[in-house]
Amino acid sequence: MPKVSVIIANKNDLQMLLVTVLSAVEELKHLDGEVVVVDNSDAEYIECVQSILSGQIKDGTTRLIRQDHCSGAAAMERAAQEAQGEYIFYTDSHTIIGQGTIRACLDFYDRHQGEPIGFVHAPIQWAHNSSKARKVSFRLHRNCLGSWGKMIDKEMKITWKGMPHMIKKEVYHKIGGYGCLAEHFVGWGGLIPYLGIKPFLFGYENWGIPDGVSYHFGEYPKPCRSYVKYRVYGRHGDYQAGTGHAVAAYVYGGEQFLRDNFEITKMERYFADVEQALKIAKEVGEKERQWILTNQKISFEELLENPPWGKDF
């Protein structure tokens, strides 16, 4: 089996972090792997995080890396850079990785060698009723991909890149990392309905598998919720709420796409006008937009007009 790096980006989460790490350690007992926690918690939480993980750090199963940046997305990027594995398995700091989940993802790659695989999404059960996503509730069906998705009983191409997921490290680098994929609000029923659209732009496919299951417990803790709204790369922690929304629209669709969707997606909640949104979007996202335009296989517009997935999504 190839080496797997389980990466966990953490910010101010003290309640579930150890449980998540222990579930990863348990999953890796019979695999070649490591757990990498990149912590960008505020100063008053750093010592607590170190204490919580001291046992796993001492026995060598977990590496703790400090990331001095207020963005969870930046921590995800750092974790991917630090990962030593051929495959990267990402989850957040309050999810239990179920038995067999990581192996199921590896088995999928083994059966599909040579195919253009982007993200492989493991089933997840949302063991909470989120005030941020009221349609989400506890699901007993082990193959549930979330209430916004559908039950699956076989491997199938999907439009989203949810959590948890696995990706080959070489593919991660080829598509330029997560980038604006991290802007969740845009992807979940927002102006870009396909959260995992970036791999498709570069000729890769996202897949959901029916085997393995993980359990997501609770929302982000209150101390870190204020940072969730950015969710894009760049020094976005210095910007206002809604930055991620505007940046994702600009990076994928360009200036006109942002203008066309400014009112539709109610960006006026965050910006004085479309010019302010565009100005900030360019400051944060111009570098990534240019990189995508230079390297992508097809255009964003072509992908939306002729999607490579089923019409039922």
**Other Cβ atoms closer than 10 A to 304:** 15
Q: Does residue 248 contact residue 195 with C-beta atoms inside 8 Å?
A: no
Question: What is the structure's pLDDT at 12?
Answer: 84
What pLDDT is stored for residue 133 in this prediction? 47
Closest CA to 130 of 188, 179, 72, 186: 188
How many C-beta atoms surround the C-beta of residue 62 within 10 A? Answer: 22
CA distance 176 to 253: 17
Alpha helical stretches, state H, the chain: 17-27, 43-52, 54-58, 72-82, 101-111, 169-174, 184-187, 197-201, 222-228, 243-261, 274-295, 300-305
| Closest listed residue to residue 208, CA positions, set 61, 289, 309 | 309
Q: Are 297 and 202 in contact (CB under 8 A)?
A: yes
At 138 the pLDDT is: 42
DSSP 60: T
- Residue 289, CA distances (Å) to 252, 261, 283 in order: 7, 18, 11
- 142-159: b or e for each residue (b if 16 or more CB lie within 10 Å)? ebbbbeebeebeeebebb
The pTM of this model reads 0.86
- Contact between residue 156 and residue 166 where contact means Cβ atoms under 8 Å apart: no
Interatomic CA distance for residues 264 and 281, integer angstroms: 17
Domains and CATH numbers, the chain: 4-216 (3.90.550.10), 230-305 (no CATH)
Residue that is written with structure tokens 């949104």 in the block: 277
> How crowded is residue 135: how many other Cβ atoms within 10 Å of its Cβ?
12
Query: What's the pLDDT score for residue 139?
Result: 45
**pLDDT averaged per 10 residues in sequence order, the chain, 313 residues:** 87 89 95 93 91 95 85 74 92 89 95 94 72 46 52 77 85 86 59 71 90 78 62 62 83 91 85 95 91 91 76 45
